[in-house]
Structure 1
Amino acid sequence: MGHTFEVPTPGGYVLKRLPTLGVEVILVRGQDGELRAFYNICAHRGNKVVREQPASNASGFSCNFRGWTYDLESRLRHLPDAPEFPGLDPCDLGLRALAVGVWENFVFVHPAGDPPPVSLDDWLGELKAAVAGGPLSKLQPSAILRATAKVN
């Protein structure tokens, strides 16, 4: 998904397009320092809550259709015109999360949410043991390259 260097401080976020899944994902570092990932979809009408790459840190995300506002932990914090939505529980309307794991400063996500069906440690298997203690954790990205490749 990315590298921890992309969101080093609380409030930092980056929008990632995952063409293989046909979705956009927000990778964000919460005020508690935890990395989280959410689908870029408002719970109301499916509009995007992030429309372009960030220029700076954020305190939350807002849909431009009705102004539903979410905090960095995905909770719905502001529901304009709340009387028009009787019976809705804001606790049930947060941004949909993906499971996040970090290994050697590389960020991995699983679309099934928390907990994923296979742990990151199990998924990495022998690779993790083969490169443990190597230089990967010290690497910092210096450029971003994008390429289109025909693969399965």
Structure 2
Amino acid sequence: MGNLKTVSLPDLAATKALALRLAKALRRGDTVFLKGELGAGKTTFARTVIAALCGVDDAPSPTYTIIQTYDWGPDELWHADLYRIESADELDELGLDDAFGDVAMLIEWPDRLFGLVPADRLELQLEMTGESPGATMDIPRRAGLTGFGEWEARLDDI
């Protein structure tokens, strides 16, 4: 099934700190699924990882481009938002299958992969656990991290 770890994220700073820990643990060929409802913090989490690894502080959301690629030293980091994908045929055009295991990937809305799921992956489920009178990112959250394959042993690195 996978190894599960739960992390409380009381504020935006805690969410970003978790993203920075993931950035330190990320390797070439890793796949990370970012799950959660709209507004759960998936894109903010991904942007923090991208800034830490690639030095891009204003990474755009790939909602319309579907995939944004970044230079990460000699490697690449891909950020995909599959929210608008409606069929497996659309995935063929993106080249995700060929890139799994070769480039590091952060994938939002992985349920739209239509079964194209690598055995080695980290699934991060973000859930809002409270309310905030301020900005959406100030809402307390919880992260559930589930490691599959190689990631089962690597959860302690995050």
Q: Does TM, scored on the shorter chain, surpass 0.5?
A: no
Answer 1 or 2: which has greater helix percent: 2
Larger radius of gyration: 1
- Length-normalised TM-score, structure 1: 0.30
Structure with more relative contact order (C-alpha pairs < 8 Å, separation 6 or more): 2
- Length-normalised TM-score, structure 2: 0.30
